[in-house]
């Protein structure tokens, strides 16, 4: 394993996804979609915990009011979720995504600095372009803002909040949109295209310099792309199915990477949570859903 990569939790997640830095808890949370688990890794003490779910969570975002999380469930419901000792409690439903598309499930989301949620959906069979991209506002209103995705993935926002990146993994393409203050998208364009040898672009995050860090599903690495879309660097991992990444720690100078064990029985560390050295680059504070109190 390269010196810049270390396994911090051999969790054997079937489909580890959606890593989230929760500053108030000093922990990175992530989900195992196929394993119907939520997992927590404490940064200071290395403590680990997990919660089983009947309806798998596909992503988590913290609530701006400090009252738990917003979770997107496999059933396409967006709910409030509280993680209590030994159990996960659904504390209310906010929205239902794609009610007219029963073959879909949710698959990745991020909150922006205005407290809006950007949510992707996908065909659960990964065959039809029935997935879409949605915006959920703090007042509960929801809009379908783009369509035609087979596997919608990895929304990420630039440091100035004026560019939003979103991926159709099956098409090996990361799109860029212009984003205005009212949450309107325009100017959709192909920003990065992966070659077959690169695998598929999966989850991603932006750093404070505008670099875009992208996980390579079936590509065994995480790469940083400059704001103009050119490749800056790549960090190889000892597993092939790399799914997403997040900056964490008080200084946002630690990069954590999720992976998947599904279909990889011969990779001992598949499904582990890794920490990678981002070489002096720092991340952006995580967004939260809703308006903060006061």
**Which residues are annotated as catalytic?**
202
The token pair that represents 77 in the structure block: 């419901």
Q: 153 labelled as ligand-binding?
A: yes
Q: Is 18 left (phi over 0), alpha (psi -120 to 50) or beta?
A: left
The token pair that represents 146 in the structure block: 């783009």
Closest by Cα among 21, 1, 3, 10 to 254? 21
In angstroms, what CA-CA distances link 48 with 29, 32, 62, 276?
Answer: 10, 14, 19, 19
Point out which residues pair with 81 in neighbouring strands. 69, 90
Q: 104 labelled as ligand-binding?
A: no
Point out which residues pair with 213 in neighbouring strands. 205, 224
The token pair that represents 115 in the structure block: 């407290």
Q: What count of residues does the chain have? A: 294
Task: Give the integer Cα–Cα distance in Å for 225 and 217.
Answer: 16
Q: Kindly provide the b/e burial profile for residues 206-238, where b requires at least 16 CB atoms within 10 angstroms of the residue's own CB.
A: bbeeebbbbbbbbbbbbbbbebeeeeeeebbbb
Q: What is the DSSP string of 196-253?
A: GGG-EEEEEEEBTTS-EEEEEETTTEEEEE-TTS-EEEEEE-SSSBEEEEEEESTTS-
Task: Give the integer Cα–Cα distance in Å for 262 and 227.
Answer: 32
Annotated binding residues for substrate, written as ranges, equal 105, 107
Annotated binding residues for a divalent metal cation, written as ranges, equal 17, 153, 202
Annotated binding residues, written as ranges, equal 17, 105, 107, 153, 202
């Amino acid at each position: 394993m390269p010196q810049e990569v270390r396994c911090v939790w051999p969790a054997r997640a079937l489909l580890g996804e959606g890593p989230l830095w929760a500053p108030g808890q000093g922990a990175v949370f992530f989900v195992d979609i196929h394993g119907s688990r939520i997992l927590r890794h404490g940064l200071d003490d290395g403590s680990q915990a997990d919660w089983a779910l009947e309806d798998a969570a596909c992503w988590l975002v913290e609530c701006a009011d400090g009252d738990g999380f917003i979770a997107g469930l496999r059933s396409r419901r967006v709910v409030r979720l509280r993680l209590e000792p030994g159990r996960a409690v659904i504390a209310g439903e906010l929205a239902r995504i794609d009610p007219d598309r029963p073959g879909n499930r949710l698959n990745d989301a991020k909150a922006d600095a205005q407290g809006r949620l950007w949510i992707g959906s996908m065909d659960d069979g990964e065959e039809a372009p029935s997935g879409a991209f949605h915006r959920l506002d703090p007042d509960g209103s929801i809009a379908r803002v783009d369509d035609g995705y087979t596997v919608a993935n990895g929304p990420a926002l630039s440091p100035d909040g004026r560019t939003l990146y979103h991926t159709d993994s099956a098409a090996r393409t990361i799109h860029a949109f212009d984003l205005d203050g009212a949450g309107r998208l325009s100017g959709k364009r192909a920003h990065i295209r992966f070659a077959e040898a690169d695998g598929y672009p999966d989850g991603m995050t932006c750093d404070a310099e505008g670099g875009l860090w992208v996980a390579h599903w079936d590509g065994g690495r995480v790469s940083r792309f400059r704001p103009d879309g050119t490749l800056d660097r790549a960090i190889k991992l000892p597993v092939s199915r790399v799914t997403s990444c997040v900056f964490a720690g008080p200084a946002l100078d630690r990069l954590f990477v999720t992976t998947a064990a599904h279909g990889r029985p011969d990779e001992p560390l598949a499904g582990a949570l890794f920490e990678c050295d981002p070489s002096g680059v720092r991340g952006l504070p995580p967004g939260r859903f809703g308006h903060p109190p006061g």
